[in-house]
Structure 1
Amino acid sequence: MKPVLVVGLGRFGGAVARTLERMGHEVLGADMDPLLVQEFSRDLTTVVEADCTDAATLEKLGVRDFAAAVVAIGTDIEASVLTVLALSDLGLSNIWAKATNDKHAAILERIGAAHVVFPEQRMGERVAHLLNERLLDFIAFDDEFAIARLKAPEPIVGLPLVTSACRKKYEVTVVGVKRKGENFIHAVPDTIIFPDDELVVLGKIADLERFSAM
């Protein structure tokens, strides 16, 4: 398994790096802050204090042979852009980059970032949806669709899914059911929904919100 470079070991980059390491990846963490380098030296395969806006520095680190790079620099937009540009110039195609706004994201994409993420925005949207007490978990996709875990709405309790016709009536698809003390159930037309069931449901965000609020 080829190593992964994580540039910027703040809250977002640090979480990515530690999670990759736990998943069995070899991680090279890089940051300009010596205190962060010292902190992460206990958790990552390799940690260096380095200026990754410099292509020569990246080449010395051997990033041409890396599987991917995550540019998690948040506050210094110039450093973020220069780092992505340097990685792209070295031929790395699987570059993930953190953006702070739409303009920043557009620049990152144009200079070689294959994936641009907005961690703060995503978390803000997720928290807002979870404030709805019936939504227990929520993951949004980029095309207005989402998958949610929610308490079974009262109108479908006691009915098999074929009768409640969630897809036809509410434009959502129930893909699974979890009951307390039981294993996860993959939903089929004959699955009957009980009062305390938790459902895994797929659909457009607006339809999921209406369905969960019934």
Structure 2
Amino acid sequence: MSERSRQRGGVLVIGLGRFGASIAVTLEQLGTDVLAMDTRSELVQEFSGHLTHVVQADATNLDALQQIGAADFSVAVVGVGTSIESSVLITANLVDLGKPVIWAKAISQAHGKILERIGAHHVVFPEKDAGQRVAHLVNGRLIDYIEFDDGFAIVKMRPPRETVGYTLAQSDIRSKYGVTVVGVKSPGRDFTYATPETMVAQHDLLIVSGHTDLLERFSNRPG
């Protein structure tokens, strides 16, 4: 990867497990310059056919990071999670380099706190987050679910029976349930932002925002 590519905002992905590999492949599909690295030769060989730039190197070694020019990347993703010691050491090495914005994977709250304290800018809990999301999808009539840190979420769901055949003004969802219908997707039609005059049909999909507890209550209304 050229110096020019790195200056455009390249991403260094360390660790080619499921988490790191998914990020690296998706970023490259989105047109981002990616350099992926792992200590395991079999993974480097496997992903050399899927990624433009893959190297075998040990990111727990600061010299190895310096040799690949890690400080030239705008973002670094630490996808190593099974070895907490390696995760912490890699993150500490990146902090010492000073430049990349660090996204680090954690497998527990204690692991996450350590990563934050040594200087990781963003700590993610992929297993926990995925589990919480799936629980919400399994528990009700939600089709998709995105939750934010303050208990606010946006969901995609099928309309409750009481809203079908009425405009949003008539069903008065916000006053009754404290959530807001942001948009409506009708089969075969483009997504449209909701207005008080928007009519809800049985096969529509609703995009709804609000507090997670209120969204659960609304999504569990009879369909």
Aligned residues: 214
Deviations 1:133-185 (A, max 9, x none): 51111111111111100000112222211222222210111001011111111
Partner residue in 1 for 2:46: 39
- Paired amino acid for 1:79: S
Aligned to 1:132: 139
The letter of the residue matching 1:48 is V
Note the residue ranges of structure 2 that are not aligned, 5 or more in a row. 1-7
1:113-124 alignment, distance < 5 Å: 113-124=120-131
Task: Give the letter aligned to residue 202 of structure 2.
Answer: P
Per the TM alignment, residue 45 of structure 1 is displaced from its structure 2 partner at its CA by 2.3
Cα deviation code 1:31-59 (max 9, x no counterpart): 11100010111122211111101211111
Match of 2:103 in 1: 96
Partners of 1:132 and 1:103 lie apart in 2 by 28
- The residue number in structure 2 matching 1:19 is 26
Moved over 4 A (4+): none
Letter of the 2:129 counterpart: R
- In 1, the alpha carbon distance for the partners of 2:12 and 2:170 equals 51
Q: What's the CA shift string for 1:109-149, capped at 9, x where partnerless? A: 11111111111111111111111351111111111111100
Partner of 1:80 in structure 2?
Answer: 87
Match of 2:210 in 1: 203
The separation in 1 between residues aligned to 2:162 and 2:220, in whole angstroms, is: 11
Q: Distance in 2 between matches of 1:145 and 1:161?
A: 21
Question: Aligned pair 1:6/2:3, yes or no?
Answer: no
Name which of 159, 174, 188 aligns with 1:181.
Answer: 188
Q: 1:62 aligns with which of 69, 94, 97?
A: 69
Partners of 1:206 and 1:6 lie apart in 2 by 36
Q: Which runs of 5+ in 1 are unaligned?
A: none
Which one-letter code corresponds to 1:135 in the other structure?
A: L
Following superposition, the deviation at residue 93 of structure 1 comes to 4.3
- 8 Å contact 1:93–1:114 — kept in the other structure? no
Deviations 1:55-98 (A, max 9, x none): 11111110111010000001000000000110010003410000
AA in 2 matched with 1:63: A
- Work out the CA distance in 2 between the residues paired with 1:43 and 1:197: 38
TM-score (norm 2): 0.93
Percentage of matched positions with identical amino acids: 53
SS at match of 2:139: coil
1:48 to 41, 55, 64: 55
Q: Provide the C-alpha distance between the structure 1 equivalents of 2:13 and 2:60, rounded to a whole number of angstroms.
A: 13
Within-5 A mapping of 1:159-178: 159-178=166-185
Give me the whole-angstrom Cα distance separating, in 1, the residues matched to 2:161 and 2:182.
Answer: 18
Letter in 2 for 1:138: Y
Aligned counterparts of 1:45 and 1:5: Cα–Cα separation in 2: 12
Q: Is the 8 A contact 2:15 2:37 kept in 1?
A: yes
For 2:92 and 2:186, the matched residues in 1 are separated by: 50
